[in-house]
Amino acid sequence: MALLKSQLFALAAFVSFQTANAACAADNCYRALFPCPSPTAVVIASSFCATITSGGVTATNYPTRATAACGTAPDRYISACKCGPTCSASTTLATSTTTSASACTPTPSNGGLIYGDFECDGISPWSSSTVDSGFAIAAQTPGLTGKKSVQGQFVGNSQCRNTCSAGRIVYNPVAVTPGTAYKFTYATWVDRTTTGFIGFMVNGNGQRTIDVYDYPANQWNFIQHPWVSPAGTTSAQVIFEWYGPAGRIDTITFAPLSAYCGPNPPVGIMPDGEFECGPGGWTQQVPDPGCVAGVASTAGLIPTGQGIGAYGAYAWQASSATIPNPQNQELGVSARLISPSVPVTPGKRYLLAFTAYFSALNIGFLGVKINGNPVMTRDPADSGQNIKWFAPNQVFWTAPAGVTTATVTFEAVQSAAGLMAVDGVIFVEVAQN
């Protein structure tokens, strides 16, 4: 786990400094003492500062989270306490696209059913258990979003490495409606190892496993997973477990697909990016009159029992019945999908994730832009892609200086008859690396 621990993410401050605090030394001690925007931590730190004097007389109640950065000498605490907190205990900073700016509260947001950002003390409301006495589970830095994630790692001699489930985290059952479509999203980081995996279960039934052969090791990978509650099922218990490798889990959401409609979906989801209620705030342009584009049913796109399905019942699609005429296209573009504008912070890093579908190998490619600038292209021959399934993709983007909004554009650059589709669009602020 040493390599993972060395990948420390540098987080920028979440709250603007007041003029009165501009002269304060915002060193590691100060940030550890007042870790905005955690209301609980601010209250504890403020109470502690009330006990310390300029003479260094204080009780021994140094906040435990600060001692690693400040030590136990009073002088550094006195200096930090004179600056005081730059945010109040009641500060609320949550937005639909920036989980790292969320106040610490172990409750779901925007229609979600579970809390999985691990920003509060411990891993509550999750519970953990270990089978292997050499394995430990805890909320630690870094995270994909926010400051922390839940980490499972070997801290002693393993009793059953690669032969048993070393440990697991469990969320208390939540109510679900039988026969209803839901979606999970979560991020994983698996250490570079050739054995073992992180497993994901609902009601004790395995849903999928993640290892270094599924996604690159030693980096965050954002995963989306559809789930339909079986007939007669009225509750869902979510379980993640480690089978062998050390790794991290972060940014878990679970909600019915209907919650992804509108401008305020569960944290991390691009507004209307699931297309279950039509295009919503998205707009489209169709330069080629021979192309039919729009949000349409995904029924029949995936051969029975094959490939990766869409996350819901609908996706944005661009279809040409014949070979496109280049004279009718706009620089090769048959159709274009444009997202609503979302707020961003200059210098912050963002994750864009989505799935792409192609009906044929020679159909062309999908171009992806942010604020009109190309960030990636995808075609059926690319690694991880294929035909007749919805393949996952992700790219990281840093907001340039002075840029405060972002718009995502998908362009269907078609050179043959067939269909392209986009679904499950994610856009979320993540920690720096």
Can you spell out the DSSP letters for 187-256? EEEE-S-SS-EEEEEETTEEEEEE-TTTS-SSS-EEEEEEEEPPTT--EEEEEEEEESS-EEEEEEEEEE
pLDDT of 84: 66
Pick among 3.40.50.300, 2.60.120.260, 2.40.40.20, 2.130.10.10: CATH of 270-430: 2.60.120.260
Highest mean pLDDT among 44-48, 264-268, 386-390: 386-390
- Weakest-pLDDT range from 46-55, 60-69, 193-202: 60-69
Higher pLDDT, 62 or 111: 111
The model's confidence at residue 24, banded by pLDDT at 50, 70 and 90, is: low
Count Cβ atoms below 10 Å from residue 7 Cβ, excluding itself: 13
Whether the bond between 392 and the residue before it is cis, its omega within 30 degrees of 0, is no
Specify the CATH number for 99-257; select among 3.50.80.10, 3.30.420.40, 2.60.120.260, 2.60.40.1840: 2.60.120.260
Count CA atoms closer than 13 A to 61's CA, side-chain side: 11
3-class secondary structure, 47: helix
Residues of the chain with CATH 2.60.120.260: 99-257, 270-430
Between CA 63 and CA 47 the distance in angstroms is 10
Q: Which residue has the tokens 């989505």?
A: 354
Give the Cα separation of 45 and 169 in Å (integer): 30
Asked if 368 and 408 touch (Cβ cutoff 8 Å), the reply is yes
pLDDT of residue 186: 92
Alpha-carbon distance of 59 to 77, in angstroms, equals 12
Average pLDDT over residues 40-50: 56
What's residue 433's pLDDT?
A: 60
* CA dist list (Å): 178 to 41, 181, 227, 254, 304: 40, 9, 11, 15, 23
Q: What percent of the chain is helix, strand and coil (3-state, nearest 5)?
A: 10, 35, 50
- Give per-residue pLDDT as tens, 391-425: 999 999 999 999 999 999 999 999 999 999 999 99
Ordered strands of the 291-297 beta sheet: 291-297, 314-320, 418-430, 349-358, 390-398
DSSP state at residue 141: S
Predicted confidence at residue 109, as pLDDT, reads 75
Would the pLDDT of 215 be above 50?
A: yes
Is the separation of the CB atoms in 369 and 308 below 8 Å? no
pTM: predicted TM-score of the whole model, two decimal places? 0.68
Task: Confirm if 414 and 420 have CB atoms less than 8 A apart.
Answer: yes
Residue 249 token pair:
């889990």
Q: Considering only 34-43, 128-137, 226-235, which range has the smallest mean pLDDT?
A: 34-43
CA 373 to chain centre: 23
Q: Is the pLDDT of residue 201 over 80?
A: yes
Label residue 96 left, alpha or beta by phi (over 0 means left) and psi (-120 to 50 means alpha): alpha
Alpha helices (H) in 71-140, listed in sequence order: 74-83
The whole-number pLDDT of residue 36 equals: 44
Reported as a single tens digit per residue, the pLDDT across 230-265 is: 999 999 999 999 987 789 999 899 999 888 888 888
